[in-house]
Chains A and B, each alone.
Chain A
Amino acid sequence: MNSVQIITDALSLGGIYALTALGIGLVFSVLRLANFAHAELVTVAGYALLIGVGLPLPLVLFMAAAASVLVAMATERLAFRPLRHVDQTTMLVSSFAVSILIQNIFVFFSGSRAKGVDILPALARQVSVLGADVSMVKLTTIAVCGATLVGLISFLRFTRLGLEMRAASQDFSMARNLGVRADRVILIAFALSGILAAVVGVLFVAEVGFVQPRLGLQLVIISFVGTVIGGLGNLTGAMVGGFLIGFIATLLQTFLPLELREFREAFLFGIVILILLVRPHGLFPARHLKERV
């Protein structure tokens, strides 16, 4: 098998997982909330594409991003902010509730059946890279994931808001004492996670060609595992963890013998457990989260 193709497969899948893991990680780092409703932010972007079929591409992409960001900010304001001062598990339960609610809204308006969406049909072709046929969808996915990562890192590194977010993720109460406004930082984290979800939604739909109410679910479950092995609360960790999961999944599917291939998930999660046994706080532990013994 051609190694260029395998690397492209791994990079594009890893990129999708990395952006999803980062979206979850951003919210976790400032709010300590594993937001399972992140799946629905991906789904919302998908349905925005469905609604926008026939409109000019830039407008459709804007609609997808706007939809995810609006829903992300609305859930923060309505479902999480009022619960911020109670037990953290309450917020977790609230995120499940939001997730199921949004899924059912889609079932109500659009039915449970998948709907075909042929976004970016121009990408359904091959280009030759280093002697291998590589799909344009995959190359675009890799490029867009890369650009989004660079954009996000620049934002966190070079803007005042980014600085505040990094400070808040290190030590939230200290950051507040030093003048960081909690409401604003958390809202921005949700908005950013919405943008990341929209990017993932568009790329994912371009590849699979459909939307359905549970579109983002499996992606988010796998990516959440990525944030955990990367180190919960650490953004570099989330990114690396997401890529790692994509790489391991691709390599397992490629190199496991047929008889074992149907147990791919068992191997994947077996490797995850091994990583966590060796490094219980993930590959890049967030320092402030470690238990003090």
Chain B
Amino acid sequence: MKNLQSFVAASVLATAASVTAAQAEDTVKIGFVMSYSGWFQQIDAATIKGAELAVAEINENGGILGRQIEILPFDNKSEPPLGADGALEVIGNGATAVMLPSDFDFGAPGAFVAQQNGVIALSGASDPKFGVTGIGPYAYSISNAAQSQGALLAEWALNEQGWDTAYVLLDNTISYTNSLCDSFAKRWKEIAPEGSLLGEDRFRNDDASIASQVTRIKGLEAQPEAIMMCSYAPGGPSAIRQLRAAGVTSPVLTGESLDGDYWIGIVPDLSDFYVVNYGSVYGDDPSEAVNGFFTRYEAATGGRADVSYALRGYSMIEAYATAANRAGSLDADAVSAELNKFDEEPLVIGNTTFNEDLHIATTRPMLVMQAQDGKFSAVGRFAASVGNLD
């Protein structure tokens, strides 16, 4: 019995190896070392689907360097350390680029392996550490840095909306939200009159109640004209629910971690809520490229996207294919040199700029979305005027 098993296993391996060898010549392999299962799956799912759409479209148009793209999927099961195993496996099978989860902690283990093996690592992590400083010269993030999202919101609230006072409510459970609120407060203090930041408070995503935080806001002499709330679902929407239930009606601003409408049931009839993301899934994006993308996405996947992250997956592959075609090679140094030359490169996610030191977007415009009476709509695209990553 044991012999039979090992025979079957050996022949399966042999078949797999010969298939790989046969395809090695004709395809460009990109590893998708992503969370296909587990709790992070919900976050990676749209990115994966967007990237799959990009692969299909690029293949239809002739692929990379005339070769078809082949996806090598690996499920890290939402366990960050497995990302390193996954990267080793797909690189062993010939991947020249690896797409990793949209979070530094989840993406980094695989990205280090890619860096060591001379392979490009792509992610939607909004932490600038996913780049030269934290990983190495082969790591690129397609996202806007969390720091630039906070600065963007501070400038937008003050300059575009004319809100004169603000309050910062930070859920300090994850590093993204910390960077977001820190950069908001920093930029606000730079450009707004002293004393106009009325206060700051902290909570945790799994707090049973934010009653004390709400009471503190209600105790202010004047209610803030904007509340910058850095959090994610479910704690974030729940915090807004508790604010609104307590009669705090100030506009609430937040970053891409609250992108999407899947949580709107927590705060039905939500109004005066503003979030920055990569594009509108409702067909009202100011960019026709984005509207076109989501129409094709719906046709390909059979349903409306519920977050804008699919744009990231799409544009990661778009960026890699563009750079590899220009380089005329899949060699990581050559592709990386072309990526570093991106100067306002028109990708679907927006015009993207990289250089030798900066492998993440800082001043690329993002879309401000609003929710009024429980319905989301696009407000417009805005950019931070400074790209400070401190």
Q: Let me know if A1 and B200 touch, CB within 8 A.
A: no
Is A253 interfacial (CB-CB < 8 Å)?
A: yes
Residue of B whose beta carbon sits closest to that of A53: B265
Chain B residues with CB below 8 A from A176, complex form:
none
**Which residues of B (180-237) have their CB < 8 Å from a CB of A?**
200-202, 204, 206-209, 211-213, 215-216, 218-219, 233-234, 237
Chain B residues with CB below 8 A from A212, complex form:
234
Residue of B whose beta carbon sits closest to that of A1: B219
Complex interface: stretch among A85-93, A94-102, A117-125, A156-164: A117-125
Q: Let me know if A207 and B209 touch, CB within 8 A.
A: yes
Is A193 interfacial (CB-CB < 8 Å)?
A: no
Chain B residues with CB below 8 A from A117, complex form:
265-266
If A2-B215, A212-B234 touch, whether A118 touches B245 (CB-CB below 8 Å) is no
Q: Which of A1, A13, A112, A116 contacts B263 (CB 8 A)?
A: A116
Is B159 interfacial (CB-CB < 8 Å)?
A: no
Q: Let me know if A207 and B242 touch, CB within 8 A.
A: yes
Is A47 interfacial (CB-CB < 8 Å)?
A: no
Q: Let me know if B267 and A209 touch, CB within 8 A.
A: yes
CA distance in complex: A113, B265 (Å): 12
CA distance in complex: A113, B45 (Å): 12
CA distance in complex: A17, B267 (Å): 24
Chain B residues with CB below 8 A from A234, complex form:
none
Q: Let me know if A254 and B215 touch, CB within 8 A.
A: yes
Is B326 interfacial (CB-CB < 8 Å)?
A: no
Is A168 interfacial (CB-CB < 8 Å)?
A: no
Residue of A whose beta carbon sits closest to that of B78: A112
If A135-B246, A261-B202 touch, whether A222 touches B208 (CB-CB below 8 Å) is yes
Minimum C-beta distance from B37 to chain A (A): 10
Which residue of B41, B209, B233 has the most chain A CB atoms within 10 A of its CB atom?
B209
Total chain B interface residues with beta-carbon distance under 8 A? 37
If A204-B208, A222-B208 touch, whether A262 touches B268 (CB-CB below 8 Å) is no
If A112-B41, A210-B238, A210-B265 touch, whether A5 touches B215 (CB-CB below 8 Å) is yes
If A116-B237, A124-B244, A258-B201 touch, whether A209 touches B266 (CB-CB below 8 Å) is yes
Chain A residues with CB below 8 A from B42, complex form:
111-113
Residue of B whose beta carbon sits closest to that of A116: B265
CA distance in complex: A83, B208 (Å): 33
Q: Mark B367-383, 1 if CB is under 8 A from A, else 0.
A: 00000000000000000
If A124-B244, A250-B211 touch, whether A210 touches B234 (CB-CB below 8 Å) is yes
Q: Let me know if A210 and B215 touch, CB within 8 A.
A: no
CA distance in complex: A222, B209 (Å): 13
CA distance in complex: A201, B64 (Å): 54
Is A114 interfacial (CB-CB < 8 Å)?
A: yes
Minimum C-beta distance from A134 to chain B (A): 9
Chain A residues with CB below 8 A from B212, complex form:
6, 9, 250, 253-254
CA distance in complex: A123, B244 (Å): 12
Q: Mark A225-258, 1 if CB is under 8 A from B, else 0.
A: 0000000000000000000000000100110001
Q: Which of A121, A138, A204, A261 contacts B201 (CB 8 A)?
A: A261
Q: Let me know if B241 and A208 touch, CB within 8 A.
A: yes
Chain A residues with CB below 8 A from B241, complex form:
124, 208-209
Is B282 interfacial (CB-CB < 8 Å)?
A: no
Q: Mark A1-34, 1 if CB is under 8 A from B, else 0.
A: 1100110110011001100000000000000000
CA distance in complex: A137, B244 (Å): 12
Q: A16-B209, A137-B245 are in contact. List 6 more A-B contacts (CB 8 A).
A: A207-B209, A209-B266, A210-B237, A210-B263, A254-B215, A258-B202
Q: List 12 A-B contacts (CB under 8 A).
A: A12-B211, A116-B268, A121-B268, A207-B245, A208-B234, A208-B238, A209-B267, A210-B266, A218-B206, A219-B208, A250-B212, A254-B215
Residues of A within 8 A of B (CB): 1-2, 5-6, 8-9, 12-13, 16-17, 111-118, 121, 123-126, 133, 135, 137-138, 204, 207-210, 212, 217-219, 222, 250, 253-254, 258, 261-262, 264-265
5 tightest A-B contacts by CB? A116-B265, A114-B234, A9-B211, A253-B212, A116-B266
